Structure 1
Amino acid sequence: MVIRAVMGGSVWKILVQPGDRVKAGQEVAILESMKMEIPITAQSGGTVQEVRKNEGEFVQEDEVLILLGE
């Protein structure tokens, strides 16, 4: 499963790291766009396999932020 950016903006905070277990609905990152914080949540549970973006990086809408596995 992939977790994608819902809009373009800067990655303000990454709240998980590889190996962490997440639950559906859990916040995993926060984007900042136009002085607003946009929480990104996991749509399903799993284990974080890879974090593809670092805090401070700019992302486009629909860009992959985090990969989840079983």
Structure 2
Amino acid sequence: NSKAYKEYHACAMGQAAPKPKASARKKNGDSASSTTPPTPTPMTTVESALRLSATAKGKQPSRATTPVEPI
């Protein structure tokens, strides 16, 4: 379920495209070894970014209020 949800969420965000391409490239073999290292890095960043954005949503009001008060 979590994988399907992540894929759906990524698809909704327009980030599902890299996942299948990464899998296809990994299957290639030789070119995958040079392509694989850069690919997982953005994917991890994407997942982290999604989690951070979700967390930031809850923290945004606090951050937005803090700079507004001193001004």
Q: Normalized against structure 1, the TM-score is what?
A: 0.22
Q: Normalized against structure 2, the TM-score is what?
A: 0.22
Q: Which has the higher strand share?
A: 1
- Pair member with larger Rg: 2
Q: Could you say which structure has the greater relative contact order, defined with CA pairs below 8 angstroms and 6 or more residues apart?
A: 1
